[in-house]
Amino acid sequence: MGAQWKAKPREAAANARGKIFGRLVKEIMIAARNGADPDLNPKLRLVIHQSKKASMPKETLDRAIKKGAGLLGDTVTFHSATYEGFAPHQVPVIIECLTDNINRTVAEVRVLFRKGQMGASGSVTWDFDHVGMIEASPEGDADAELAAIEAGAQDFEPAEEGATLFITEPTDLDAVCRALPEQGFSVNAAKIGYIPKNPVSSLTAEQLEEVETFLEALDAHDDVQNVYVGLSG
């Protein structure tokens, strides 16, 4: 499954646009707490770039920045929360949430874990690497290995639709994002996330379907931003 689990294409196509915008708006608002100027706020700069790649309307983007920076007077406070545990068949999973009500979210996530096993903090994260992840597409015949070396990435691997996933130290994410265009790569998305160290690879088709159903239910929750799963393939 790679670094981050994604919904199956048919489910993603059905409601992707609204859900993607909703998640990005939350990320913009949180990033803008540290200032509305992207030139002085690397985290905001990255999420603005990602929002533009997703074709977010300029009015939506601008309003999210102003609201997060407290320039509209009606600020909403979002809290980040990370939950971990196991999907069916002991597949490790990490869920990142942004919520305006922690008590509500944790109660609802516990319900979603009924067919899995919710763990304590640290019960699963030890089996993942916490890294920066940059998805970028080559322009022309740009070489991914050379780009990784020159831009300062730790590693790289193939991503969807001919793109490349560049893996960095979390603290190097912004610097590598800035360097990749000079190496012939256009950045599509960038974030700090988790990559499994020992992904599960021995599931039957029936077991895999159970895991997929479990992950789809997590991903459908409004407060869930990212789902990372230790599953190969």
pLDDT in tens, 94-120: 999 999 899 999 999 999 999 999 999
Q: Percent of the chain, pLDDT > 70? A: 91
Range name among 20-24, 119-123, 182-186 with the lowest pLDDT average: 20-24
Q: What is the pLDDT of residues 54-78, one digit of tens each?
A: 889 999 999 999 998 888 877 678 8
What's the CATH code, domain 9-68?
A: 1.10.10.200
Q: Where are the domains of the chain?
A: 9-68, 79-126+200-229, 127-196
Q: Residue 15: its pLDDT value, please?
A: 55
* Residue 3 pLDDT greater than 50, yes or no: no
User: Tell me, what DSSP letter sits at residue 100?
Assistant: S
Q: At the top level of CATH, which class does the domain 79-126+200-229 belong to?
A: alpha beta
User: CA angle at residue 115 from 112 to 117, to 5 degrees?
Assistant: 85
Average per-residue pLDDT for the chain:
89
Q: Provide the β-strand partners of residue 93.
A: 85, 229
Q: Residue 6: its pLDDT value, please?
A: 59
Q: How far apart are CA 139 and CA 194, in angstroms?
A: 27
Cβ-based neighbours of 176, under 8 Å, separated by 6 or more: 132, 134, 151, 152, 153, 166, 168
* Residue 217 tokens, joined: 């239910």
Query: How many other C-beta atoms lie within 10 A of the C-beta of residue 26?
Result: 23
Q: Is the pTM of this model over 0.75?
A: yes
Q: What is the pLDDT of residues 159-213, one digit of tens each?
A: 888 899 999 999 999 899 999 999 999 998 888 999 999 999 989 999 999 999 9
Only one residue has tokens 């077991």, namely: 207
Same fold, 9-68 and 79-126+200-229: no
- Are 84 and 121 a contacting pair, CB within 8 Å? yes
Q: Which fold has domain 127-196?
A: Alpha-Beta Plaits (3.30.70)
Cβ-based neighbours of 100, under 8 Å, separated by 6 or more: 76, 77, 78, 79
